[in-house]
Amino acid sequence: MTTWHARMIAADKEYDGAPLLRGQFTLDEGHGDVVSATLFLSALGVVEAWVNGRRASEDLLTPGWSSYEWRVRYSELDVTELIDTTTVIGLALGNGWYRGRLAWSGGSKYYGEELGAFAELRIRFADGHEQVVGTDSSWMAGPSATTANDLYDGQSIDARRFDDEWLAPGFSSAEWSAVRELDDDLSRLEPYIGPPVRRQLELQPVKVWTSPAGKVLVDFGQNLVGWVRASVTGTAGNVVTVRHAEVLEHDELGTRPLRSAEATDRFTLSGAADSFEPTLTFHGFRYVEVEGWPGGAEALQDQGRLTAVVISSDMKRIGTFQTSDPLLNRLHENAVWGMRGNFVDVPTDCPQRDERLGWTGDLSAFAPSAAFLFDSHDFLRDWLRDLALEQSHDEDLVPFVVPNVLKYIEQPAEFGAPDTAAVWSDAAVWVPWALWEAYGDRRVLEEQFESMTGHARRLRSKLSPNGLWDTGFQFGDWLDPDASPDQPWAAKADKHVVATLCAFRSASLVAAAAEVLGDHAASAELGDMAQGLRSAFKAHYVGDDGVITSDCTTVYALAIVFGILGEGDRDFAGNRLAELVEKSGFRISTGFAGTPFVTDALTDTGHLDAAYRLLLQTENPSWLYPVTMGATTIWERWDSMLPDGSINAGEMTSFNHYALGAVVDWMHRTIGGLSALEPGYGRILVAPQPGGGLHWAETKLETPLGIASVRWEIVEGRLKVAATVPDGSEAVLRLPGMDDEIVGPGQHVRSGSAAELSFQ
């Protein structure tokens, strides 16, 4: 455990919930040049740091949101170039997740009443001497230009209070007061595992206009997560108000989906040229409504007046996908933007309303897609650490959200008592397994194995004497499109059928993980559990004619992909699934549980054409219906916006929810033809399956071993496939009309008729 010199400190006054803190020191003499200077930074709240007037890093919202009861992260910053003989460290605090509003109840301060700051600077000199300074009772605190801040409600900044003198040596002010050391033993401080949040992109408005109601509206052309930076000159004391929303409704800002979140920033002008950037909040938005801007809509036409700043955890983009169909390309891009906007320190369900929680079910659905689109390995390892902590402090119960702030809030009556729930709690198993398959790093299985087995064993304790998981609350096939807008749990799929299938999958995957780690006893134990679930499922849920209880798309899709069926029942299930999909007019009929698996189930049972027709459907409900409606992210509901342009009547409606975008995983593997035969792509499968009238597709992935790619195109009835295999890997080429071929690293090209390929 690290021994810290610094202490966690708090301002003696509230200072509008956004205090500044400063400490000044002089370098020790007689030790030569400074060789290195490292700043360790954390907070109870969120913190930004300056050293001698310059930002210590570009990180945002440090230290993020973790399970604060047991873990508060710190960042480690190299500030060697910022150190001087006399050095001032300045810290700016905000409420963040620690003390701000969380969830839909309107409450705040669930983790603590008081903001705290922690900074320790370790300076090493040429002769090896180390000087250590940090936050303690000698520091001072004062007011900032921020007069209010909340992640849900926004930030208010008064430019008349801007003053950088507090960052200069010798600063003194009567407005400033003492600080005190908090009673915190610092044992919960841990380093980040995942990446920090940072600015990613900047977008300029594509349209500025006045609405029928006389409101000034601005469109940035893309639903995004971040804030608006404003550059403005106007009368001192005047206030510019910027309200954010994802959509328009009846030609005005569509704010109803925000529920109680104000999502509003307020900027008070100084009378000079002001620049505002509200870095203590973030919003999910495409549109803003601007009130009080000097000169109105006409003045806002100038580029640079308003700039949308896109933020996300700083993950490298590693996977790309394109086809000859612009609608499919936009669908894929919507999934990318949905992940970018919801992976802001915690993998949230949505980034805009009074929720923004780390729902485990959303990530269970999307983890394989996430692992392909961005290098999310360490980001998700970090989140899984919190999942395991929450679980270990609650009798192995994996909560609905991580970090689990819901334990402090009265649950909706329909949830019942918190308990293990299929798909949601299964994130303890499904997410680390997806990371293992994508990156081939045993650490994630080693780190999470206790959590994985703990979940499986608790789940086993929930099974009835008949061997089924047929009791307790379940979300089931959440947001089945045939359910009423106000009853998202009312799915066609029997919730206990879904639960039992998910239990089988989790037991099977934990058994496989145990085998990877060489724990043969655990592998046998969980393998036996899976076999018991298989037998119970067959006995109670599969009829003599092969019909599965509730006879709908989701139950057949899960049964096929999870591998619970015998060969005869599997053949029937595939045919019945295809029949149901056709009967629905190739419109979507699955919710959160079934959607990630339905196209794979069709493909794996010989119904590729049905999978393509389902994917390419543009009528509601479908993946492409939102695209035809102008969506630039994945929606929470298939019909979050109705064809007439009105917002779905359900209270729970988001226009940025990545879960239903999980189909991109199938697109990468089946349309693109690129998948892993071994964890980490030590062996690769190149197996494009053209269809749906597509003329070409291209998929590229930066695997742990290097770039792998597949491109295919059909020209004048001939199919050409080009594949790149990275060093250290080999690939199986599985192409139409040809026997499997094993190839090594390098470029490989094959071509032939669209029906039967031959070597080129």
Q: Which of 32, 224, 49 is CA-nearest to residue 124?
A: 32
Distance CA 85, CA 88 (A): 10
More confident residue, 485 or 315: 315
Residue-wise pLDDT tens digits, 471-492: 999 999 999 999 988 899 999 9
What was the pLDDT predicted at 1? 67
| Distance (Å, whole) CA 442 – CA 436 | 7
Q: Which of 120, 246, 289, 355 is catalytic?
A: 355
pLDDT digits (tens, 9 = 90+) for 582-641: 999 999 999 999 999 999 999 999 999 999 999 999 999 999 999 999 999 999 999 999
**What is the structure's pLDDT at 760?**
35
pLDDT of residue 754: 63
Residue 17 sits at φ, ψ, to 5 deg, of 75, 15
Q: What amino acid occupies position 94? A: G
Residue range 678-715, pLDDT digits in tens = 999 999 999 999 999 999 999 999 999 999 999 999 98
Q: Is the pTM of this model over 0.95?
A: yes
The residue among 681, 670, 545 whose CA lies nearest residue 598 is 670
Asked if residue 758 has pLDDT above 50, the reply is no
Per-residue pLDDT tens for 716-741?
A: 889 999 999 999 999 999 998 889 99
Cis peptide before 465 (omega within 30 of 0): no
Q: How far apart are the first and last CA of the chain?
A: 61
333 classed as catalytic:
no
Helix (H, G, I), strand (E, B) or coil at 57: coil
Long-range own/partner contacts, residues 167-173 (CB < 8 A, 24 or more apart):
167/22, 167/50, 167/52, 167/53, 167/88, 167/90, 168/53, 168/88, 169/24, 169/86, 169/88, 170/24, 171/22, 171/88, 173/142
Q: How many CB atoms lie within 10 A of CB 465?
A: 6
- Predicted confidence (pLDDT) per residue in 63-97, tens digit: 999 999 999 999 999 999 999 999 999 999 999 99
Which pLDDT score, from 0 to 100, does residue 214 have?
A: 97
Tokens representing 533 are 């679930």
Decide: 121 and 82 in contact? Cβ < 8 Å: no
pLDDT confidence tier of residue 755, bands split at 50, 70 and 90: low
Sort strands 130-134 and 239-245 into parallel, antiparallel or unpaired: unpaired
Kindly report the CA angle at 64 between 63 and 69, in degrees rounded to 5?
85
| pLDDT tens digits, one per residue of 52-65 | 999 999 999 999 99
The enclosing H or E element of 55 equals strand 54-55
Mean pLDDT across the stretch 343-360? 98
Active site residue 249: no
pLDDT at position 410 over 70: yes
Q: Which one is catalytic: 120, 246, 636, 698?
A: 636
pLDDT at 645 over 80: yes
Q: Is 728 left (phi over 0), alpha (psi -120 to 50) or beta?
A: left
| Cα–Cα distance list, 37 to 81, 82, 125, 190 (Å) | 8, 9, 9, 19
Is the pLDDT at 757 greater than 50? The verdict is no
Backbone angles phi, psi at 456, to 5 degrees: -60, -40
Averaged pLDDT of the chain: 96
